[in-house]
Amino acid sequence: MHLEGIEPLTKLNSSDDSTSEKSLDEFENWGGLGKPNIPVFPKCCESKNKRKRNTTYMEKTPEIDRILQKKNTRSNLNTLLINGNIATPLHVAKQRYIVMNTCPFDALAVIITMAYTDFKTNTVFVDSSENNMLRFCKSLALYGPTKKTYTDRLELLKPIFKSSHDISRINVIDARCNVSFVATKLLVNAPSAIEKIRCTTDGCNNKNKDIESPTLILRFKNVKNLQKSLDNYTKEQVYECGYCYKSLSSRRTVMNHLLIETDTLPENQSIPLSMFPIQLEANTVKYVYNF
């Protein structure tokens, strides 16, 4: 039987190599319905000129580069922490842990560490503090990041975040939050301010009450008015007591460091660091903006 388009078997066995090679390129064409064996790739494999989405993520930020390259401070990049997302599992008490999304914690830790190194008054304050977060930052400033540093970070975050288990029986802690949340949880006994509430009625629940604030929530729409907002924050306020309905006074006293929340600003508003005031003053004490 002879198939059209394919050389006879006798020719395939002949010594004519060129003819033999040519026959391999032929295709079956029975009844004129044959098609060449040309591979057809699916459309999904075709290259498409997709328009890339504009983004500034991971692009260089001149302001941050300028801060990191400052020579007038004694702190340096040796105090930077590795994000838990790219760190190896930690072994604690025969358990394995992975701490994810540690950016907020790391940012707060590095800020406090830089202040400890660069400002003598802050060094004295941290040295005398029993706060575990401040002790962590002191160790980071003195010795840099070590294996124990990441174990200590785990111990600080375990009580405030839930732990889950993956298929490999590794404890996974997702520390996704904002810096304010970390501060309110870990700096409770090292607050930014203390509000002293005094009621004129004896025996009232507000007779003599102190409320510690890890962060300052100031009302401002423009960072240029930050000093004015801080002045209003520390002014004595007189209003009606919620328990006895008599006169009550309240005054906030700022402490050694000020962590000011900026969540009151519009979410999409971008503010250059250069717009923030370098120095603030409260209760006759001057505070330097540490960034």
pLDDT digits (tens, 9 = 90+) for 7-44: 333 344 444 555 555 554 555 555 556 555 555 555 54
Tokens linked to 222: 């423009």
Find how far residue 230's CA is from the centre of its chain: 27
Taking each helix axis as running N to C, give the angle between helix 103-118 and helix 120-127, from 0 to 180 degrees, rounded to the nearest 10.
110
Q: Which residues, at least 6 apart from 154, have a Cβ–Cβ distance to it below 8 Å?
A: 90, 92, 97, 99, 173
Q: What is the pTM of this model?
A: 0.70
The pLDDT-based confidence of 217 (bands split at 50, 70, 90) is: confident
User: Higher pLDDT residue, 283 or 231?
Assistant: 231
Q: What are phi and psi of 44, to 5 degrees?
A: -65, -20
pLDDT of residue 30: 57
Nearest to 114 by CA among 103, 123, 125: 123
Q: Are 67 and 273 in contact (CB under 8 A)?
A: yes
Q: Are 137 and 109 in contact (CB under 8 A)?
A: yes
The ranges assigned to domains in the chain are 78-189, 191-290
pLDDT of residue 6: 38
Alpha helices in the chain (DSSP H): 9-12, 17-24, 62-68, 103-118, 120-127, 132-143, 147-157, 179-186, 226-234
Least confident of 103-112, 147-156, 160-169: 160-169
For the segment 187-192, the average pLDDT, to the nearest whole number, is 94
CB atoms within 10 A of CB 252: 21
User: Higher pLDDT residue, 120 or 39?
Assistant: 120
- pLDDT at position 182 over 80: yes
pLDDT of residue 13: 45
Q: CA torsion 41→43→49→55, rounded to 10°?
A: -110
- pLDDT at position 78 over 90: no
- pLDDT at position 232 over 70: yes
Taking each helix axis as running N to C, give the angle between helix 132-143 and helix 103-118, from 0 to 180 degrees, rounded to the nearest 10.
70
